[in-house]
Structure 1
Amino acid sequence: MHSKFLYQSEHLSTELKDFVAIGKLFVSMGGAPAFVADDLPGDYPNGFDLKSEGHNTVVNVGNKTYLIGGTDHGSKSTIGVRVSDKRTGGWVTPTVLGTRPKPSEVISAVILNEDRIFILKGDSSPDDCFWFLEVDTPFVQEKRKEFGTEVVAWSKGVVGDAKKPIVISGPSGVGKGTLISALMKEFPSTFGFSVSHTTRAPREREQNGVHYHFTERSVMAEEIRDGKFLEFAEVHGNLYGTSIEAVEVVADAGKRCILDIDVQGARSVRASSLEAIFIFVCPPSFEELEKRLRARGTETEQQIQKRLQNAKAELEQAKSQGLFDHMLVNDDLETCYASLKKLLDLDEAVEIINESSPPLVDLPRDHSVSKIDKKILISCGTRERASKNIFLLDLSSLKGGAPGRTRGLDIYTSDSMTNGINVAVEGDGEHLHEVEVIQEYEIEDGGPSIMK
């Protein structure tokens, strides 16, 4: 038996109107994974093939088929992935990189640009329902070539964006630590430090996860191989490094990450996919730097000479084109700090402690998903409540990716309402439902306008 109901105009935001005004959509109501229509306008090809097999979802991307769901063969606590190449046949378990999501009995999948699959987990917490399975991104291509095996990579989707981390480098004795401490003191809710990893043993009163993440050499070496570290170095037989996850954790807390690393580390971060602001703090002269080092009275003559030798090399490397975005001369600490705040747009800033958080989606088992271009329409719950549980995900401004987070998801909820459109949905609650535009809209640069 077919029924008909309306998405009333007062329950659709401008962004949702833009979406539904494009043409006909087909969505699946109930717990089944979403299917895309093959009756969309020519400019919006459906781009993927998806089937449901119990708790698994089968997605065809080019010549490959991906079976997503159940549990990982190596770990019962994460979602499993298997791959089949239509040209060779047979199924293989790929090398899986990145942070893996927990299993879910309800998975919807949408292909994006044929290089990643957008995964929605039903019955998951609001901060755990959006994931990306990268199948042919530059990172995956690089690791596939390096390992010589099939590779996929998970990346957690995050609503909203994060400000670029700040990489601050400079020779020992230049005063960068004092500058960073001043930033942290004046803006404690704005900035945060990443906690580095090391393979050395903890010293007295050092706490794991506070001073360092203490780990085994074999574990850290494997994570370096898997691309989980932005930068690393071996010092006195021990490995030290900054993991991508350590930076992401700071951003997850709503803070801007500061990385206090040497020039070689800055070069490694620059070569990574992380977008950051790179600042080099230099002394007014080499003679002044030596004077400051000696004034500290904490090093032997041999140690001072070693630091001066390293400083000379760092000052020369810092001149490399494209490495640092800004060069700050620390002649006077107060003046240099003012310059640092200015280039970070903090010179007249007042710290805002309680910024509004982006809306979260509590994705139930009963939901439907549709896609046009880089926008995902999610309808949650039963038909009777559908008009009040509509979410639009805009994936056009994604940043980052595996092995870190994918940020930049924009979400629009049915809380931001305007008048002007009705959408009818017909079906029996189990099969595909047709969404039609009752009032037509003409999409213009300034937004939709009703066609009389």
Structure 2
Amino acid sequence: MGEAPAFFIDNFQGNISNELNLNSKGYVTTIDVSCNKTYVIGATEKESTPTFEIQILDKSTNKWVIPIVFGTKPKPSKGFSAISLDEDRILVIKGNSSSDDCFWFLEVNTAFVREQKTRLGTEVASWSKGVIGEAEKPIVISGPSGVGKGTLISKLMEEFPSMFGFSVSHTTRAPRNNEQNGVNYHFTERSIMEKDINDGKFLEFADVHGNLYGTSIEAVDVVADGGKRCILDIDVQGARSVRASSLEAIFIFICPPSFEELEKRLRIRGTETEEQIQKRLRNAKAELEQGKSPALFDHILVNDNLDTCYENLKKLLGLSDGIKISQKSELVVHVPLEHTVSRIDQKIVINCGGSELEKSAINSFALDLSSIKGGAPGRTRGLNIYVMGTKISS
């Protein structure tokens, strides 16, 4: 907490509308989110780097508060508009930006923000990037060590390289021979990973064999941002955490034909000491029991024969009859520096009139928020764009 910058206080006029459109001359906007709080969003120069700064006026005490802000901050534009959607979110629209980067949500009272407020005991806000259209459900593949999960995933990605992307997990263990940082795992220090976990940056995490393993929310979003379907290779404990999260996914458990066969495969692999093998076998027994739970996994595949198991995996994903290609609109909408916004139910109408109209063939369009999913600390997906009643985004 601390004092707000002088230009915020000097420009505050008391009764401020919950919607203020700015053009190239404006750098600050104020939004009433509830009867007790006004949020001030300003594009400022901080160490020669433009950034968005957030201040809160608590009208019950008439005091300014500087919140802790999570998420990746958007790069500010010289002009932006903002509108309160409800008591949970503020939509910020960057001027002079295209639709792949102009829609951002400042979350002020969502479940994630409330959780962080309770944990930290202070005001919290979080940025979330708005993404046009849906992303296909990620695929969670779990099973005991040595069951062949990695081989199945490698075959899937080799046959369908443009369709799937592998979620690269974080771990605090040391890399093995030929493992590359950022490719096999994101290798990190325990103290760093623990801090990121506390900051809500991980979808799931677990202490496995004395080391931390986890899937960051960013790792999943990066795959979806690239137009691919994310694959998560995680243990049963991690799968349980993902199932309890807000992420919608398909959960598949891979099991061996027998426990004896699993032990044989672990020993043939030759990457662990006897002590490590025994530890993995003890964990495998517990995982095989949990893997039978219908409340956790949607599908169970037995890896008796690798080729047969792989064909069954493709059938589950609807790939046995060839690659499914989804048609995606390539139309990119440009929001000029000077624009106005208004709200009709769950649609935000953006008027793009002005001197920069030639950059866009569209004079005005509506941003439909009725199907949004996700949010901080990741992405907000499901935004759709309509022009004159016609949907132009997929």
TM-score range relative to shorter protein: 0.7 to 0.9
Are residues 1:305 and 2:278 paired? yes
Name the structure 2 match of 1:241.
Answer: 214
Q: Partners of 1:213 and 1:108 in 2: how far apart?
A: 37
The 8 Å contact of residues 72 and 80 in structure 1, kept in 2 or not, is answered as no
Bigger relative contact order (CA 8 A; separation at least 6): 1
Name the structure 1 match of 2:290.
Answer: 317
Are residues 1:118 and 2:91 paired? yes
Which stretch shows the higher mean deviation, 233-242 or 406-415?
233-242
Q: Please give the residue correspondences for 1:394-409 in structure 2 after superposition, counting only pairs within 5 Å.
A: 394-409=368-383
Q: Please give the residue correspondences for 1:7-406 in structure 2 after superposition, counting only pairs within 5 Å.
A: 49-51=18-20, 54-62=26-34, 63-71=36-44, 76-199=49-172, 207-234=180-207, 239-296=212-269, 299-320=272-293, 322-350=295-323, 352=325, 355-382=327-354, 388-406=362-380
Aligned to 2:52, what secondary structure does the other structure show?
coil
2:382 partner amino acid: G
Name which one, 1 or 2, has greater alpha-carbon Rg: 1
Following superposition, the deviation at residue 280 of structure 1 comes to 0.8
Following superposition, the deviation at residue 411 of structure 1 comes to 1.1
Following superposition, the deviation at residue 200 of structure 1 comes to 5.3
Q: Partners of 1:369 and 1:236 in 2: how far apart?
A: 53
Which stretch shows the higher mean deviation, 71-80 or 50-59?
71-80
Are residues 1:411 and 2:388 paired? no
Q: Partners of 1:186 and 1:68 in 2: how far apart?
A: 47
Q: Partners of 1:251 and 1:274 in 2: how far apart?
A: 13
Q: Partners of 1:281 and 1:208 in 2: how far apart?
A: 26
In the comparison of the two structures, how many residue pairs are matched? Answer: 369
What whole-Å deviation, never above 9, does each CA across 1:339-386 have from its counterpart, x for those lacking one? 21122122213254x853453222111212121111111121328969
Q: Partners of 1:188 and 1:283 in 2: how far apart?
A: 27
The 8 Å contact of residues 69 and 107 in structure 1, kept in 2 or not, is answered as no
Q: Normalising by structure 2, what TM-score?
A: 0.84
1:327 partner amino acid: I
Instruction: Name the CA shift for 1:303/1:217 in 2 (closer, same or farther; >3 Å).
Output: closer
1:378 partner amino acid: I
The 8 Å contact of residues 43 and 50 in structure 2, kept in 1 or not, is answered as no
Identity, % of aligned pairs?
A: 68
RMSD of aligned residue pairs (Cα, Å): 2.8
Return 5+ residue gaps in structure 2 as ranges. Answer: 1-16
What whole-Å deviation, never above 9, does each CA across 1:321-344 have from its counterpart, x for those lacking one? 522222222233233222211221
What whole-Å deviation, never above 9, does each CA across 1:10-29 have from its counterpart, x for those lacking one? xxxxxxxxxxxxxxxxxxxx
Instruction: Name the CA shift for 1:316/1:203 in 2 (closer, same or farther; >3 Å).
Output: closer
Q: Partners of 1:283 and 1:323 in 2: how far apart?
A: 18
Instruction: Name the CA shift for 1:87/1:320 in 2 (closer, same or farther; >3 Å).
Output: farther
Return 5+ residue gaps in structure 1 as ranges. Answer: 1-47, 418-452
1:55 partner amino acid: Y
Q: Partners of 2:237 and 2:47 in 1: how far apart?
A: 36
Following superposition, the deviation at residue 247 of structure 1 comes to 0.7
Instruction: Name the CA shift for 1:297/1:154 in 2 (closer, same or farther; >3 Å).
Output: closer
1:102 partner amino acid: K
Q: Partners of 1:388 and 1:165 in 2: how far apart?
A: 34
Following superposition, the deviation at residue 228 of structure 1 comes to 0.5
The 8 Å contact of residues 160 and 358 in structure 1, kept in 2 or not, is answered as no
The 8 Å contact of residues 199 and 238 in structure 1, kept in 2 or not, is answered as yes
